[in-house]
Amino acid sequence: MTTFALIPGAGTDTWYWGPLQEALRERGHRAVAVELPCEDDTADFGDYADAVAADVRDAGAADDDLVVVAHSFGGFTAPLVVDRIPVRRIVLLTAMVPAPGESPAQWWDATGQSDAMRALDEAEGRDPDDETARFVHDLPAALAAEALAHDRGQSDTPYDAVWPGDGWPDVPTSYLLCRDDKMFPAAFVRSMVADRLGVAPDEMDGSHYVMLSHTAELADRLVAYAALDAAAPIP
């Protein structure tokens, strides 16, 4: 059995991981949805990584085969977890990839995300203020509205702080790109991941909230990642 630690994006709670947790349990694994102190202005990335480790320990999974799954802003937290508990693999799910000396606030322009998203909006005629079209366009209307309603707010403390890592950890890392993500356009992600991780991302259909729109396929993908050993190629 593998334990999947599910790290949320900015300002979100654990609700949107619920269907994926159930799907992973049905496949014989444990899934821990991490509650980050995202509204706490005293909390930094060290506190976020501590919260991941604490939730895994509280679930009785500290000695399990652990795969850390980080969504979106969670990409800044995932690599810091390996200094706190043993992690066999990191899976970045349509996530930000930090660089030493960079803050999340700087990441958008440093990676070219801002320009890429703006260009995609213009090409597809999208209102940049339309959160439904940006994040949950492939969900039924009621589910899309519920997903957006679970916004807790995100403190600027970690957002404005320089990421404390000194490089990507020596842990096998997979990146899963969502081809229908309007926030992180596919061409941008391919370039960013090649530049920052030196790998080509794997790809699947789905929006930024792929855990709600393609739950079963995502669960199967994560289980397949968990089956890899450190030297095996990504299928």
The mean predicted confidence, pLDDT, of the chain is 92
Residue 195 lies in domain? 2-226
- Residue 12 has what DSSP assignment? B
pLDDT for 151 equals 80
Any domain includes 231: no
Q: Which of 95, 70, 65, 94 is nearest to 80 (CA)?
A: 70
3-state helix, strand, coil in the chain (%, to 5): 45, 15, 45
* Arithmetic mean of pLDDT, 196-202: 96
Q: Please check whether residue 96 is in contact with residue 178, taking contact to mean a CB–CB distance below 8 angstroms.
A: no
pLDDT for 101 equals 94
Q: How confident is the model at residue 232 (pLDDT cuts 50, 70, 90)?
A: very low
Quote the number of domains for the chain.
1
Pairing relationship of beta strands 89-93 and 202-204 according to DSSP bridges: unpaired
Any domain includes 232: no
Cα–Cα distance for residue pair 216/115, rounded to 1 Å: 32
Percent of the chain past pLDDT 70, that is, above it, reads: 97
Any domain includes 132: yes
Any domain includes 234: no
pLDDT in tens, 32-46: 999 999 889 999 999
**For the chain, how far is it from start to end, CA to CA, in angstroms?**
20
CATH number at residue 182: 3.40.50.1820
Q: Which of 213, 208, 215 is nearest to 141 (CA)?
A: 213
Q: How confident is the model at residue 229 (pLDDT cuts 50, 70, 90)?
A: low
- Residue 179 has what DSSP assignment? T
Q: Please check whether residue 197 is in contact with residue 168, taking contact to mean a CB–CB distance below 8 angstroms.
A: yes
Q: Please check whether residue 134 is in contact with residue 147, taking contact to mean a CB–CB distance below 8 angstroms.
A: no
Any domain includes 41: yes
Cα–Cα distance for residue pair 159/138, rounded to 1 Å: 28
The count of other CB atoms within 10 Å of the CB of residue 215 is 18
Q: What pTM value is reported for the model?
A: 0.93
Any domain includes 233: no
